[in-house]
Structure 1
Amino acid sequence: MKVFDLRCAQGHGFEGWFGSEEDFQSQLSRGLVTCPLCGDAHVDKLPSAPRLNLGASEPAPAAAPKPQADTPEALWMRAVRHVLAHTEDVGERFAEEARRIHYGESPTRGIRGRASREDTEALLEEGIEVLALPVPADLDGPVQ
């Protein structure tokens, strides 16, 4: 398994896991490697240093793992995945269903879907809280 550091033309960094360099090149040439944040297929492989084990020296004492700071992209993706996993997709019926929930005509639950700018503004004027959350095309489907 090869793990590559990748970056799209928009500057988003992410990892890609491939069976081999040839597998990566094949998928890249077919437009199958896309940015998980914006869906951009213009992806470059960044230089990375391979991990080499050059000797059998004494292992260093185990240190407590250092917490890694999440990048803004990683935090955003975690938030998107959480929303997708914990809400019901009502699709184009979003504004209608948000109103039904707000006025007690439908059970209270987390929903997501699509609404026009006009519908979103009308919901906000009615006191119904909504938040636009762009979802990458690759994640618009079943959550794994």
Structure 2
Amino acid sequence: MTSCPCGGVALTAKLPGTQGSNEKYADCCGRYLDGGEAAPTAEALMRSRYTAYTLGREDYLLATWHHGTRPASLELEGKPRKWLALEVRRHEQSEPDHAVVEFVARYKVSGRAHRLHEISRFVREAGQWFYVDGDLV
């Protein structure tokens, strides 16, 4: 069993008296990246985008980036990073089609540790969530 890079916790972790564990990739972000399912929440989309970064899946990142702010390319191949962990600090859905997710992603570049702390904005159009932009904290 390969756990998901986003650190998604299985439902059993939320039930009293159970231990829960990291979900398998296929049951967590894999269903969005490989299975074609649309992420049901902005947080699920953000987690799947983190996983896409860990896997170098520029296609998924661009497809889930809102067309109004999406860059032409991310050029991930020229940016070798070892992604270490994701911590979701909050998820707020102020309106049915607008949400904010605050997260901290930890990674290494050339052996040196870094952290990316961002408050990201998401919008839902035609039932699908998209990353719009974010503010670094």
Larger helix proportion of the pair = 1
For the pair shown, which has the larger CA radius of gyration, 1 or 2?
1
Could you tell me the TM-score, scaled by structure 1's length? 0.22
Could you tell me the TM-score, scaled by structure 2's length? 0.23
